[in-house]
Structures are given as structure tokens and as C-alpha cells.
Amino acid sequence: MNYEGYKKTGISEKVYNFGEIILKDLEERFKEIDEIAEYNQLKVISAMQKNRLSANHFMATTGYGYNDEGRDNLERIYKDTFHTEAALVRPQITCGTHALAVALGANVRPGDEILSPVGKPYDTLEEVIGIRDSIGSLKEWGVSYRQVDLINNADFDYEGIKNAINEKTKLVTIQRSKGYQTRETLSVKKIGELIKFVKEIKPDVICMVDNCYGEFVEKIEPSDVGADMIVGSLIKNPGGGLAPIGGYICGRQDCIDQCAYRLSAPGLGQEVGANLGIIQSMYQGFFLAPTVVAGAVKGAIFAANIYEKLGFKVVPDGKVTRHDIIQAVELGSAERMIAFCEGIQSAAPVDSYVTPVPWAMPGYDDDVIMAAGAFIQGSSIELSADGPVKEPYAVYFQGGLTWNHAKLGILMSLQKLYEKGLVDEDKMN
């Protein structure tokens, strides 16, 4: 029906028709996603209304930021939305890795140990923790680290976790999303079961969840199932594509107090930190986030079903319930990875004319290719695709501020593979 519009973007009729066939089987899935978005939208609106959000809260502050009511009210809205005692939501938190580094560094001391019961953390955290040596790592400050790998890349090794917890274990870090791995993303329910198990062994241990890419994908968050802290980036889900920078940490009052003192300085905590005039974007992005996330989830499911039908391994598969916005596709070669990313880049509203190439990205061991024509640099809630160029040559697709844009990006990724003869054309019939 809309092929003429897609034709102008360079999508062939064969690729378009293949996409339409896939979409016919996704109507019920998309209705379920819309229901989750509606639930979460009402949750955000209720928090905004409870805290009497007004135009006065959008005023810019500078300098120290003393008595910044807009900043303080945004934090109250976050804590009420995520059902926690306190929240730290700041533009001074530069990214998700920074937010996690603050949360970790603030709540451990020399001699303490951090435990990951879900295997290795995301690549950029390796230097924060000291798995890979780096200046200023927690390892340099006498904080040790231990991990328990998942069984078959999917299930918790409960016996291994029980044996790993000891008198030094201060904080358990749980990564909800997969990062550059091809394991399943953890559901909130599964995270709750893990936290319950850990707390039964050591009740005073702090359970922190890296919530990046997961916010608003389900009706509940890890903070609803026992997490002491949840941590994320505003240029991912909760920023709704409008927040130009920032991160959040929500959780127990004592944990958030520690984070605030770590972020600013002892004795200052949450009292300082001007909003610099971007506070309205942070509010409005949070308001839009449930709808934006729903579009990204639809795009991920569409991608999974497209590439699964073409014979590629996808994680998660096209049928399972979603727990984050990321879709991994194992393409089997660097050539296919590059073509896929070229398609995503050419579908972007920004820098569509740029050709992505692998490069030595800071914080990663291997060359990484990244396609991201975004309004906010590095925004992972906007349409993007990336991955380390190594076996199994998995590309990680995420985002799309609207479902329509996500759809175009997926079709364009397939178009590039199709043009270069890198897919089995018979499977598109």
C-alpha cells in the first residue's frame, strides 16, 4: 500500500513485500506492546501529576544549582515512577557507564568484593571494575571482583552463586540486557528470583541492576522486585530521544545518598548540580519514553522475524516475550555486518550519506562498527546498530524514535544485504 514512499528511499519491491508478509503475523504482538506502553504512560503521568509538575519547573539554573526545584522535582517523579525511596537524575552523569561507575564506587569500600552472578559485564565496565587494568579502577582502590557464569548462557548457577558469596561480598551487580553477548536478556521476574536467592544468603548485600535498554519494556521494573538500585542512561530508553545527556540512579535512600556524595563531593551531595537549561527536555523525554520504547520494541521484533526467516540466528528469537529493546543478529561474516550497518546508516535522518567503518572504539578490545545517524550523539534509543567485528559477527540493532523509522531501518539493512548477494533470495519468496 505504501510502497511508493519506500521506493523513493531505495527499497526494492521484493524486500518491501517480504517485510509486509512478516508484518501480517505480528499484529497481535504489536497490540500487546501497545497495552504495555499505555500502562507505563499512565504510570509516568500519575507521577508527574502527584508531584504537581508545572511550567516553573522548566526554568534554567546555573552555577551551583542551589534550590533547583525543577531538578529536585524530576528526581521525585523518577522515584515515584520506579517505586523507590530516592533518585539521582542529573545531566552531570555523562552516560550509562558513568552512572554505573558512580553507583558502584559510591557503595563499596577497600576490602569489599563485587559479585556478578550473570557472567561478564558490559565491555566498558571491565575497566571500571578492573577486569582490564585501567587508571582509577575499583581494583586500584582495593575492591575485588568475582563472577559466576550462566549455565548454557541462559540459567543462573545457583550453587555457584551460593559458593561465591562470602564475608567480603558487598554488592551484587546484575546486568539486565545482554551487552555484546548472545545470551537472553533477563526478565524482571527472573531478576526478582535471583535477588530473593541472594538476599536469603546475605540479607545486607546491595543488589544493583544495570537497567540500560530495559526501562518501560515491561510493566514492572527491577526496583519492583527487590533491587536496591537500578541504574540507566537518559540517552537510552527513559530520555525518550529528547534528553541530550544524563543518567539516573534510583533506589534505597542510603544508597542514593552515597551516590550523590560520590558524584559531587562529600558534604554537598544532591544540593548542587545546575540543570543548565535542559531540564524541560529531560521531563518531556521521560513523558514520551513509554511510547518511544514501544516503537523500538516493535522494531526489534520485526528484525528478529525478518532475519530468522532468512536463516540467521537471532537472539532473542522472533517468538519470545521481550525484556529489552536490543536485537542481536548473528550474520556470520564481517561483510554482512558492514552491509547491515550501511543499511541502518542510510535510513537515518542525520548523516545518512556517511558510510560506517570498523574502528578502535574507546573501552573495547576489538574494532567496533557502529551505524548511528542520531539527533543526540550516541543515543541508543534512536535507530542504531553496532557490534564488535569478531566471531560470530553479531550485530546489535536497537532503537527508533518511531516504529515507522525502525521499520525503514530494518528494510534498508536487508536491502543492502540483498543488493550484495549476501542473503538467500529463495527464502524471501
Alpha-carbon distance 90 to 98, whole Å? 11
Spatial separation of the C-alpha atoms in residues 270 and 165, rounded to whole Å = 32
Q: What is the pLDDT of residue 1?
A: 60
Per-residue model confidence (pLDDT) at position 31: 97
CATH of domain 61-286: 3.40.640.10
Tell me which architecture the domain covering 3-40+290-428 has in CATH: Alpha-Beta Complex (3.90)
Q: Which helix (H) or strand (E) holds 89?
A: strand 86-90
- The four Cα atoms 57, 62, 64, 66 give a dihedral, to 10 degrees, of -30
In angstroms, rounded to a whole number, what is the distance separating the alpha carbons of residues 65 and 56? 15
Half-sphere exposure of 168 (CA within 13 A, CB side): 14
With the C-alpha atoms ordered 41, 42, 43, 47, is the resulting torsion angle positive or negative? Answer: positive
Q: Is 363 exposed, middle or buried (0-12, 13-18, 19+ CB in 10 A)?
A: middle
* C-alpha closest to that of 273 among 282, 285, 263: 263
Q: List the chain domain ranges.
A: 3-40+290-428, 61-286
Contact 383, 348 (CB under 8 A): yes
Does the fold of domain 61-286 match that of domain 3-40+290-428?
A: no
CB 107 within 8 A of CB 206: yes
Residues in the chain: 429
Between CA 140 and CA 133 the distance in angstroms is: 9
CA atoms within 13 A on the CB side of 11: 25
3-class secondary-structure state, position 99 = helix
- Judge contact between 340 and 417, C-beta under 8 A: yes
Residue by residue, pLDDT tens for the chain (429 residues) are 689 999 999 999 999 999 999 999 999 999 999 999 999 999 999 999 999 999 999 999 999 999 999 999 999 999 999 999 999 999 999 999 999 999 999 999 999 999 999 999 988 899 999 999 999 999 999 999 999 999 998 899 999 999 999 999 999 999 999 877 778 899 999 999 999 999 999 999 999 999 999 999 999 999 999 999 999 999 999 999 999 999 999 999 999 999 999 999 999 999 999 999 999 999 999 999 999 999 999 999 999 999 999 999 999 999 999 999 999 999 999 999 999 999 999 999 999 999 999 988 776 778 899 999 999 999 999 999 999 999 999 999 999 999 999 999 999 999 999 999 999 999 998
Encode 125-163: b = buried (16+ Cβ within 10 Å), e = exposed: bbbbbbbeeeeebbbeeebbbebbebeeeeebbbeebee
Q: Are 229 and 255 in contact (CB under 8 A)?
A: yes
Residue 213 near residue 177 (C-beta atoms within 8 A) = yes
pLDDT score, position 183 = 83
pLDDT for the residue numbered 279: 98
Give, for 7, the enclosing helix (H) or strand (E).
helix 3-9
207 strand-pairing partners? 172
